[in-house]
Amino acid sequence: DTGVSQNPRHKITKRGQNVTFRCDPISEHNRLYWYRQTLGQGPEFLTYFQNEAQLEKSRLLSDRFSAERPKGSFSTLEIQRTEQGDSAMYLCASFLFQGANTGELFFGEGSRLTVL
């Protein structure tokens, strides 16, 4: 257990529905990342935060995806009008950014989304 918690672990939904995933990082970690991973591929960067500020969002991410970290603690990733192509594992990771540190990422166990 890395200390990063993701919920729900599994979500099955019908195409067109909205889904929301939550990530609770390690409490003192100020950086939080979201990745998407499909079978046989490495994690694909989606977005990341420094405290509550969203620093970058992948250009591959459509407008149906939105992420927030309202108080600089937990984060949510929402997918609106889900499509079958959204089926994947959504991974959250965090670390404590302090100047020029090396930044080992601590990952949660992921939230697996299946869109029918």
Partner 1 sequence: SQKIEQNSEALNIQEGKTATLTCNYTNYSPAYLQWYRQDPGRGPVFLLLIRENEKEKRKERLKVTFDTTLKQSLFHITASQPADSATYLCALRTGTYKYIFGTGTRLKVLA
- Give the whole-angstrom CA distance, residue 90 versus residue 101: 26
92 touches 23 (CB < 8 A): yes
Per CB under 8 A, does 104 bind partner 1?
yes
Residue nearer to partner 1 on the CB measure, 60 or 116: 60
Taking CB under 8 A as the criterion, the residue among 25, 43, 67, 113 binding partner 1 is 43
Please, which residue, 67 or 93, has the CB nearer to partner 1?
A: 93
- Single out the residue of 60, 103, 114, 116 in contact with partner 1 (rule: CB under 8 A): 103
| Binding residues among 53-72 for partner 1 as defined by CB under 8 A | 55-56
Burial class (CB in 10 A: 0-12, 13-18, 19+), 59: exposed
User: Are the C-beta atoms of residues 110 and 7 closer than 8 Å to each other?
Assistant: no
